[in-house]
Amino acid sequence: MRIIGPNCLGVMNPLTGLNATFYGTAAPIAVAVDSVRGKHYYSNYFAGTVGVMNLDGTGANDNFVTGIGNAIGLEVNTVNGDIYIADATGSIRRV
């Protein structure tokens, strides 16, 4: 289970428990997981960016996608790796 909290992202694993702060980031609104490529994507609502990290929380890049406005939704097509971003203006784009 993915957890989004104030200024953090976390995970809950039934075997290891809760780690609610494995990565701190401002205003995470949306998250998406690409289990095929081992990536976790997250939006920063106020900065207008989408970040990416490895599933274990390492290798974070907060500016993977920039200039997108206020991202409120993310989805990953695990077949081709495309990322779909919905923003607060009602736009949906593929990156």
Residues 35-84 pLDDT 10s: 899 998 988 888 888 999 888 778 889 899 998 888 888 999 999 999 99
What is the pLDDT, as a whole number, of residue 11?
53
- Whether 93 shows a pLDDT value over 60: the answer reads yes
Phi, psi of 16 (to 5 degrees): -110, -10
Please tell me the distance from the alpha carbon of residue 64 to that of residue 62, in angstroms, as a whole number: 6
pLDDT digits (tens, 9 = 90+) for 1-45: 444 444 555 555 556 554 544 555 666 778 888 989 999 898 888
pLDDT at 27: 64
